[in-house]
Structure formats: structure tokens, C-alpha cells
């Protein structure tokens, strides 16, 4: 029927595809009636959807039209094309090529038109014809996709196209009102069916991303109105969660691309050991606004888009108690046939790179990913079941980032509890993200994570063999940074809260030290670092005095005034400083005096620990959806 449109005598030998010929006229503003006067409207679109979709051409045509054109002269065509595609997606047989072509057409059409910064009503005008028609049109659209996704008899390729279309639409529409139609229809059973279907295994990644994007639609004001939040919270299907963990681990392994930029494999050579010793002795190693060894643009494109898989991981981990158990299965009872590391170890490894490079490129995206990973870490350590295993189960040493000075200490044991690597991630964040635009929320998460770990260890009387001194130095480095750079920090008023929470952590560390530190020497090193930083601690008084408390600020740990807690810390510091200030020649003498004093008189602790479980501070991540949608769209074909 279209053949007469494609050639003229002068173009006899220039072959133009039917698809290009018809669409070029449609995008010029010609109506189907003008293009094929003798053809019925439905027949026109039926034959159009018989044609193999030239997605690059269609994309270029849509990109070339303006928003005004979409709402003006091209609106009837776009509206008719959308509704024709929905019709054939809904009613045609799976073997009918029109169904697959309609799915492909809409994937391109929706992603490119929705990129034109439309409002919610404009989306409805373009695709439904009017706001009054939107309920009917979009309800049929969502029903059609749901039917395909949930049908195990549907060919895998068609289900995959429907999945990508749904994902493309929700990521493109963002938080606009037109996304609400995907909340009116519950896609959760269909997504679960697809994930558990053996022939759809390779599409698990897209399916769980679709679910997490749906759960993040208007998340901040949805409360329990978003059905996917409730579905995730109440899910009890272990097989579904195992598939989620499998896909997540696979994607996270691929996400650690930092090694391709700079191979930081641990080497226990003399040179590497000397490098650690030299950086260990630097007095200014974590207190500068500018890092000497910034990697420049080398890491600016990292993490890769597949790292977005962290979002569904967090969406399940925080509200669903069963998911944490499933997450730990391959760590607790590894399969003999497992060829990859456990998902937990993979996640910790990736987190170390995210925390190291978060602010090196001044990219809001890299900072957002590091922040999300720290939210996951906090959620993990607030789960006592998880802590039981990661603090007492030895695993092969996890590869951690050593791409920026000062590097983490060399590995001395080939096996260690994962909790050691979690603390290392905290050290990396504390060290490498001290900048004028201070990420206070992430620093708070880091401090709360450390507090929760120390609380658990002392509560269970577990002595952890760990390089604790590195953590103490990083904590004091943060406090010094806050006092020396307070005049230039842009931290939205959170500096006082960060200082207060850090001091509460330090006080708890001191009061409980004899319960979790592995040896007397570790205890002596804690006091030595405390005395070395006594001037930093005294300056905290001025900082706290100069900054007003934030309204409704509540500590995670206790209700005692921060000024009283600081006085207690300074009392311990002054006590030992007085005893080592006379007659010492070097650090060795100071350590000896500290050891003798502790042996004779203890730590000079003058208050008791609160006998309460710390408040859980993990919370919803509400500001990541925009980045997640952008990265998902970048992954779409």
C-alpha cells in the first residue's frame, strides 16, 4: 500500500526504506490521510507497525522536533501513534511482529519525547490526546505491559522488550504525575514471576531495577501509599531475593572498574611497606582542603552505570528482615561450586573505591553513590544478625582501594572478619573527603557506623584484632579539620552536629576500650593518640560555643550534654598529658609512661556507659532517584 510513496522516477536507483519514507512525511506534519488517501486510519498504522523499526532514524527524528511541535502540529500524529502501539501491544498475538515493533517504537518515542522537559499534563496531552482521556489510555498501556511481564508463556524476547519499555517510561517520566498510573496497577507479582522464570534469568537486572524505580516514585510523600514499598517490606519469597542477590553480585563485580584505571593490587614488598610508614608519619595527612594526590579526571566517569543496582539492594535491606538473611547466605554457607566472592564482600570492595574517590572529581553523581553505599553499610551494622557473622566469620581478605595516599596498612592476615574491611571503608571516607563542601550527612553515617560497631563489640565482649590506631587518627583528623576550616566550610549548618556525634563516639570508644581492643598495646596507642590530639579537643569547646545547636537535633547515642561529654574526654586527656609531659625524649618514652599509668591506675574513666542500645539511624534515601533514572536510561539500548 505504501509502495507508491517511496520512489520517484528520478530516485529510481536510490533505495529508501519504507520505514524512513513514511516517518519522514509524518514528522513533516503530513497526516496519514494525506500520505495514503485511500487507506483507512487503522490500516495505515497496522502496516506501519509491520515495518522493521529503524530506531536510530526514529530517535533522530524525535530529537529534531521541538516541545512546541509535540504540543502543536505533531500532536495528532504522536497521539495516534502512541495509541496504535498500545492497541497492538494489548491485542495482537505474540507471534505477530506488530507487537514487538510497537514495543520498540514506544521505547524510542517515549524516551526521546520525555527528555524534552515536559510537565505532567503535557505528557497526557501528547500521548493521550487530552487530560480527560489519560485515564483510559494510560490504564490500557499499563495493563498491556503487566499482562506481558506476568505471562510465563510469552516469548522471552517480547517480555524483555515490555520490561525495557516500562523501565524506560518510568525513568523518563521521573516524578511527573503521569507516572502515577504505574502505581495504580500492581506490577509486583509480574516482576516476581519474571525474575523467577528460568528463561528470563538474564533480565533479572532490569526487572529489579524496574521494581526499585517504581518504589521510588514520589517516595518522600507517599508514606504507605506507594504499593511497592509495602510489597518490598512484606516480601517473604526467598527464591526471589536470591535471584536479586545473584544479579546484584554479578553487576557489582563488573562495577569495580577502578582497577582498570589504576591497578592497586596489594604488594607486601619493602617499597610498599616503606610507603605506608612514610605516609603514616605525616602530621598533615587528613586535614587539608586540597589533596596532593588527587587523581584528576582519571576516575570522573566512575562508577559505571551498572552500580545503580545498589538502589534495589538498599530498598530491600532496610525494611525487609528476611533479605538480610538471604544476603548473608553465601558468606555463612558458601557453595562448593561458587566461582565468585560473596555479595557482601563484593559490596564492601566496591564501597572502598566509592568512598576513596567520591569527591576527587567534584561529581555529585560519585558523591551520591558513595553516600548510598554508606547508607547500606549503616543498615548492615544496625542488624545484629549480620553483625554476629561479619564480626566472627573469617573470610579471605577483601580487596580494598589503595589508590590514594595515605593508603591503608598492608595486609598481615590472609583471613579476617569482614567487619575489619567495613571499618576500613569508614577510614577511607574520613580521610579522603575533607573538602570545603563537606558532605555532612555521609560523615554522620560514617560516625554512626563506627559507633554501632564498637557498641556491638563491647556488648558481646569481642576483641577485634584490627589496626585501630588508623581509625583514631582519622577521627582526630576530622575534628582538626572542623576546627581549622570552620570559616570556609559550606556544610549547611551541620558542623556542630558532626562535631558532637564525633565526640560522643570518641567518649564511647574510651569508656568501652577495655572490652573490645585486642591487647594492652592497642589500649596504650588509643591514649597516646588522644594525648597527641589534646589541642584539637580543646578547640572543640570554641567550635561548639560558636555554633548554635540545630533545632530538634537529637543524638543517636545519649541525651547527656555534649559539653559535659567533652569535659570528660578532656579530663582523661589532661590526666595522661600531665604524666607524660615531663622527662620524655621520644614517643617510646611516652608509650611506656602511658602503659605504666594504665597498669597502675586504669584509664581514669569517671562515668559509666549508658546501658542502652543505640538508636537506629538508617533512613530512606530520598534524593537518589534522579541519578538512578539517568543511569538506567544510559544502560538502555
pLDDT digits (tens, 9 = 90+) for 212-227: 999 999 887 755 688 9
| 204 found inside a domain | no
- pLDDT in the model for residue 550: 63
Q: How confident is the model at residue 10 (pLDDT cuts 50, 70, 90)?
A: very low
- pLDDT in the model for residue 209: 98
Tell whether the model's pLDDT for residue 518 goes beyond 70.
yes
Same domain for 256 and 160: no
Q: What proportion of the chain, given as a percentage, has pLDDT over 90?
A: 69
Domain that holds residue 104: 3-188
pLDDT in tens, 590-624: 888 888 888 888 888 877 777 788 888 888 888 89
- pLDDT in the model for residue 341: 83
| 231 found inside a domain | no
Q: Which of 171, 188, 205 is the last residue of a domain?
A: 188
Q: Which of 173, 188, 203 is the last residue of a domain?
A: 188
pTM over 0.85: yes
- pLDDT in the model for residue 426: 98
Same domain for 169 and 280: no
Same domain for 610 and 479: yes
- pLDDT in the model for residue 298: 72
- pLDDT in the model for residue 268: 39
Listed in sequence order, the residues at least 6 apart from 496 whose beta carbon sits closer than 8 Å to its beta carbon are: 543, 544, 547, 548, 549, 550, 553
Same domain for 288 and 149: no
Same domain for 37 and 166: yes
| 58 found inside a domain | yes
Tell whether the model's pLDDT for residue 148 goes beyond 80.
yes
Tell whether the model's pLDDT for residue 7 goes beyond 60.
no
pLDDT in tens, 394-448: 999 899 999 889 989 987 788 999 999 999 999 999 999 998 889 999 999 999 9
Give the residue, 491 or 493, on which the prediction is more confident: 493
| 149 found inside a domain | yes
Q: What proportion of the chain, given as a percentage, has pLDDT over 70?
A: 87
Q: Across all residues in the chain, what is the average pLDDT?
A: 87
Provide the β-strand partners of residue 416. Answer: 395
- pLDDT in the model for residue 162: 98
Same domain for 298 and 173: no
Buried-exposed string 357-384: b where 16+ CB fall within 10 A, e elsewhere: bbbbbebebbbbbbbbbbbbbbbbbbbe
| 476 found inside a domain | yes
Q: Which three cell numbers, joined as nine digits, stand for 344?
A: 557482601
Same domain for 260 and 116: no
| 252 found inside a domain | yes
Placement of cell 555554633 in the chain = 547
Tell whether the model's pLDDT for residue 296 goes beyond 80.
no
Give the residue, 258 or 239, on which the prediction is more confident: 239
Same domain for 181 and 44: yes
Size of the chain in residues = 637
Same domain for 609 and 483: yes
Tell whether the model's pLDDT for residue 634 goes beyond 50.
yes
Listed in sequence order, the residues at least 6 apart from 448 whose beta carbon sits closer than 8 Å to its beta carbon are: 378, 501, 556, 614, 617
Q: Sign of the C-alpha dihedral, residues 429, 430, 436, 440? A: positive
| 230 found inside a domain | no
Nearest residue to 479 via CA among 423, 543, 427:
543
Same domain for 252 and 131: no
Tell whether the model's pLDDT for residue 58 goes beyond 70.
yes
Same domain for 276 and 168: no
Q: Which of 51-55, 62-66, 340-344, 584-588 has the lowest mean pLDDT?
A: 584-588
Burial of 241 (0-12, 13-18, 19+ CB in 10 A): buried
Q: Which of 23-27, 377-381, 429-433, 543-547 has the lowest mean pLDDT?
A: 543-547
Q: Which of 188, 209, 239 is the last residue of a domain?
A: 188
Q: State the total domains in the chain.
A: 2
| 202 found inside a domain | no
- pLDDT in the model for residue 417: 96
Provide the 3-class DSSP secondary structure of residue 128: helix
Amino acid at each position: 500500500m505504501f509502495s507508491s510513496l517511496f520512489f520517484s522516477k528520478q530516485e529510481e536507483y536510490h533505495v529508501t526504506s519504507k520505514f524512513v519514507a513514511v516517518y519522514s512525511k509524518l514528522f513533516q506534519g503530513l497526516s496519514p490521510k494525506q500520505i495514503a488517501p485511500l487507506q483507512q486510519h487503522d490500516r495505515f498504522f497496522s502496516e506501519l507497525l509491520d515495518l522493521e523499526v529503524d530506531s536510530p532514524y526514529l530517535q533522530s527524528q524525535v530529537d529534531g522536533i521541538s516541545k512546541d511541535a509535540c504540543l502543536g502540529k505533531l500532536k495528532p500524529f504522536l497521539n495516534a501513534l502512541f495509541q496504535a502501539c498500545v492497541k497492538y501491544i494489548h491485542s495482537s498475538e505474540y507471534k505477530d511482529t506488530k507487537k514487538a515493533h510497537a514495543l520498540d517504537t514506544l521505547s524510542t518515542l517515549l524516551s526521546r519525547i520525555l527528555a524534552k522537559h515536559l510537565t505532567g499534563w503535557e505528557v497526557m496531552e501528547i500521548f493521550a490526546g487530552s487530560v480527560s482521556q489519560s485515564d483510559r489510555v494510560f490504564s490500557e498501556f499499563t495493563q498491556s505491559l503487566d499482562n506481558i511481564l506476568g505471562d510465563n508463556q510469552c516469548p522471552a524476547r517480547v517480555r524483555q522488550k515490555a520490561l525495557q519499555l516500562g523501565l524506560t517510561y518510568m525513568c523518563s517520566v521521573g516524578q511527573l504525575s503521569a507516572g502515577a498510573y504505574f502505581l495504580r496497577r500492581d506490577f509486583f507479582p509480574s516482576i516476581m514471576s519474571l525474575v523467577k522464570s528460568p528463561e528470563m534469568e538474564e533480565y533479572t537486572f532490569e526487572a529489579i531495577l524496574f521494581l526499585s524505580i517504581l518504589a521510588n516514585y514520589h517516595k518522600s510523600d507517599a508514606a504507605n501509599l506507594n504499593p511497592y514499598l509495602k510489597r518490598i517490606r512484606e516480601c517473604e519469597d526467598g527464591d526471589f531475593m536470591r535471584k536479586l542477590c545473584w544479579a546484584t553480585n554479578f553487576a557489582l563485580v563488573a562495577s569495580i572498574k577502578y582497577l582498570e584505571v589504576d591497578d592497586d593490587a596489594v604488594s607486601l614488598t619493602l617499597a610498599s611497606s616503606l610507603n605506608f610508614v612514610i605516609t603514616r608519619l605525616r602530621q598533615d595527612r587528613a586535614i587539608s582542603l586540597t589533596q596532593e594526590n588527587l587523581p584528576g579526571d582519571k576516575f570522573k566517569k566512575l562508577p559505571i552505570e551498572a552500580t545503580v543496582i545498589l538502589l534495589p539492594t538498599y530498598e530491600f535491606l532496610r525494611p525487609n528482615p528476611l533479605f538480610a538473611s538471604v544476603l548473608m547466605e553465601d558468606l555463612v554457607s558458601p557453595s562448593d561450586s561458587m566461582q565468585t566472592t560473596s555479595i557482601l564482600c563484593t559490596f564492601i570492595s566496591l564501597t572502598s573505591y566509592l568512598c576513596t574517590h567520591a569527591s576527587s572529581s567534584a561529581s555529585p553523581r560519585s558523591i551520591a553513590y558513595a553516600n548510598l553505599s554508606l547508607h547500606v553499610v549503616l543498615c548492615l551494622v544496625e542488624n545484629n544478625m549480620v553483625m554476629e557473622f561479619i564480626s566472627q566469620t573469617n573470610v579471605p581478605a577483601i580487596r580494598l582501594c589503595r589508590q590514594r595516599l595515605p593508603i591503608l596498612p598492608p595486609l598481615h592476615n590472609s583471613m579476617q572478619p569482614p567487619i575489619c574491611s567495613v571499618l576500613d571503608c569508614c577510614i577511607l571516607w574520613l580521610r579522603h573527603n575533607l573538602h570545603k563542601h563537606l558532605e555532612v550527612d555521609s560523615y554522620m553515617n560514617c560516625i554512626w557506623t563506627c559507633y554501632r560497631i564498637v557498641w556491638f563489640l563491647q556488648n558481646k565482649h569481642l576483641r577485634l584484632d584490627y589496626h585501630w590506631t588508623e581509625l583514631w587518627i582519622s577521627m582526630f583528623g576530622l575534628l582538626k579539620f572542623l576546627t581549622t576550616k570552620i570559616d570556609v566550610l559550606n556544610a549547611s549548618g551541620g558542623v556542630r552536629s558532626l562535631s558532637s556525634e564525633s565526640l560522643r563516639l570518641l567518649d564511647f570508644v574510651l569508656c568501652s576500650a577495655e572490652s573490645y581492643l585486642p591487647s594492652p598495646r592497642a589500649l596504650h596507642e588509643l591514649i597516646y593518640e588522644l594525648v597527641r590530639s589534646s589541642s584539637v579537643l580543646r578547640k572543640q569547646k570554641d567550635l561548639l560555643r560558636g555554633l548554635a545547636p540545630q533545632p530538634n537535633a537529637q543524638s543517636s547515642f545519649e541525651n547527656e550534654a555534649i559539653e559535659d561529654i567533652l569535659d570528660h574526654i578532656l579530663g582523661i586527656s589532661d590526666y595522661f598529658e600531665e604524666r607524660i609531659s615531663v622527662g620524655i625524649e621520644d614517643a617510646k618514652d611516652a608509650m611506656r609512661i602511658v602503659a605504666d599509668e594504665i597498669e597502675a591506675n586504669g584509664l581514669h574513666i569517671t562515668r559509666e556507659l549508658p546501658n542502652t542500645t543505640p538508636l537506629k539511624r538508617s533512613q530512606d534515601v530520598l534524593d537518589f532517584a534522579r541519578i538512578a533514572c539517568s543511569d538506567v536510561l544510559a544502560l538502555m539500548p
